[in-house]
Structure formats: C-alpha cells, structure tokens
Amino acid sequence: MAVLDPHFVDSVRLDDSFNASACMNCGICTAVCPLGLEHLPREIFAYVVLGMKEEVLRHQDTVFSCLLCKLCEVNCPAGVHITENVRALRHYFDSEVFQIQGGPGDAASHV
C-alpha cells in the first residue's frame, strides 16, 4: 500500500505556475511525445498530486530524460504547464535527493 504525503506537492511546487492537478489524463501528451514517454507527464503528475513520493522517486530517469521539447504542452487540451512542471520535479530531485543547489547546505561543498 502506497504511503501518501499530503504535503509532497507543496515541496515540488516552485511557484503558482505548477499546475499538475489540471491534467485530465487524456493521454494526448503520451501520443505525441517523440520519446514515447509513458509515465511522464500524466502518471508522474498524478503521483505528485496524490502525494505518492516513493513512486515519483522511482521515476527519476524518466523525469531527467524528457527533452523539454514542449510538443506535448502545445497540444495539451487542459493547458498543463508540462515543461515547467517537469523542471519543478527536477528541482525537487536536485535539492531534496541529490542535495545540489550550490548553497552552504550542499552535500558536496566541503571537499
């Protein structure tokens, strides 16, 4: 049984433009994606909105392999900011999982 974290979406959201919850799971993005990414955007966005953090973490490679080419976004009928949402997810991995943001708390700052 998946562990749900109701605050997870707030830790991913960078600003008000994050709108994963607008997705209506129509599948157009998957149909047009040149890489045929199946889990991104809709499935991973649903995990974020539902607070299924472990599922999101399992899809790290998918999150980082998206080309940010925007072909899905310009075809999305719900106006989901797909590429900006993907960048927010990457930011989450960078800061919370890889501990990279270049600040003093950055894990690799002390050689």
Positions touching other proteins (CB under 8 A) are: 14, 34-35, 60-61, 64-65, 67-71, 73-74, 87-94, 97-98, 100-103, 108-109, 111
The CA distance from 82 to 6, in Å, is: 21
Cβ proximity to other proteins: between 6 and 102 the closer is: 102
Per CB under 6 A, does 56 bind ligand SF4? Answer: no
Site string for ligand SF4, 12-51 (x = CB under 6 A): -----------xxxxxxx--xx-x-x--xxx---------
DSSP 42-106: HHHHHHHHHT-HHHHHHTHHHHHH-----HHHHH-TT---HHHHHHHHHHHIIIIIS--SSSTT-
- Asked if residue 11 lies in contact with residue 78, where contact means CB atoms within 8 angstroms, the answer is no
Q: Which residues bind ligand SF4 (CB under 6 A)?
A: 23-29, 32-33, 35, 37, 40-42, 66-72, 76, 78, 80, 82-83
